[in-house]
Homo-oligomer: A and B are copies of this chain.
């Protein structure tokens, strides 16, 4: 949580093999740059020989000049200490493209949270393989691109989408987008494509999870937001939640009930991604909520 939407705040993510003194090194570095640490989160997979993850949120006075200096010095520090790092400024909002098909509930949840500024993000475009949602998207002043897609046209369609996205978008959200992206497409946005799957993965991997949940007689249905990888439904999980159901819910009722948990889970995951709270470690995530 952070209510600071002003421009003097920055976030630094660091990961590296575990080594002694890494916290001291980085906090000393920030102190030298007159950064005032507001939030500090840390995780190590194994204190002996694991991977170290760190997220620091800090304020800078005289932001514009000091941020540039800090970023430039970070390159040196990172090289010396072999750090993976990512630095972002609250001054520059992340740009999110939404991919959608016909169902609008996940899309609308994102649009409402964007409009209310609950999620500080820009939405430069919505792309869909159907034209159905064109009007509602455009009514919010968001450009809508209809790119039809069939087995035959997939390669061309993805190419067209990539051209639209190029340089305009930082990450992509599949808000119930009923197409499978190609490895080529995914490779352009590694750990930058978020999907919402309408089951509590790994239960009901694949198609029609609600029908299968109904047939199995589960007592809770779920939803899973994850980064998209080439292994379908196997990417790093960002957030999951469930909702209680009972024998009165027909298969169709599960779909309706599920929408609500899908919306919540996706919105949380997007919010955390936007605030740089998610770090990927292999097929898992560390989320500093």
A residues engaging B (CB < 8 A)? 1-3, 20-21, 23-24, 27-28, 30-31, 34, 36-44, 47, 59, 104-105, 108, 112, 116, 118, 139, 200-204, 216-220, 222, 236-242, 246-250, 252-253, 256-257, 259-260, 264, 283-287, 289
B104-A108 in contact (CB<8A) = no
B47-A59 in contact (CB<8A) = yes
Known: A105-B112, A200-B203, A246-B287. 20 other contacts (CB 8 A): A3-B250, A3-B253, A20-B31, A20-B36, A23-B37, A23-B40, A24-B27, A39-B43, A39-B248, A43-B248, A105-B116, A118-B259, A200-B200, A200-B222, A201-B218, A216-B283, A217-B236, A219-B238, A246-B289, A260-B264
A271 to chain B, nearest CB (A): 10
Chain B contacts for A240, CB-based, 8 A: 218-220
Chain B contacts for A104, CB-based, 8 A: 116
Closest residue to A4 on the B side, CB-wise? Answer: B47
Contact of A42 with B39 at beta-carbon distance under 8 Å, contacts A24-B27, A203-B202, A284-B247 already known: yes
A1-B218 in contact (CB<8A) = no
Chain B contacts for A34, CB-based, 8 A: 20
A20 to chain B, nearest CB (A): 6
Chain B contacts for A200, CB-based, 8 A: 200, 203, 220, 222, 242
Contact of A219 with B202 at beta-carbon distance under 8 Å, contacts A104-B116, A247-B285, A286-B247 already known: no
A121 to chain B, nearest CB (A): 14
A1-B118 in contact (CB<8A) = no
- In the bound assembly, the distance between CA atoms of A36 and B22 in angstroms comes to 10
A42-B40 in contact (CB<8A) = yes
Contact of A219 with B239 at beta-carbon distance under 8 Å, contacts A24-B27, A118-B259 already known: yes
Chain B contacts for A287, CB-based, 8 A: 219, 246-247
- In the bound assembly, the distance between CA atoms of A6 and B197 in angstroms comes to 30
A208 to chain B, nearest CB (A): 14
Closest residue to A264 on the B side, CB-wise? Answer: B260
- In the bound assembly, the distance between CA atoms of A142 and B47 in angstroms comes to 36
Chain B contacts for A21, CB-based, 8 A: 31
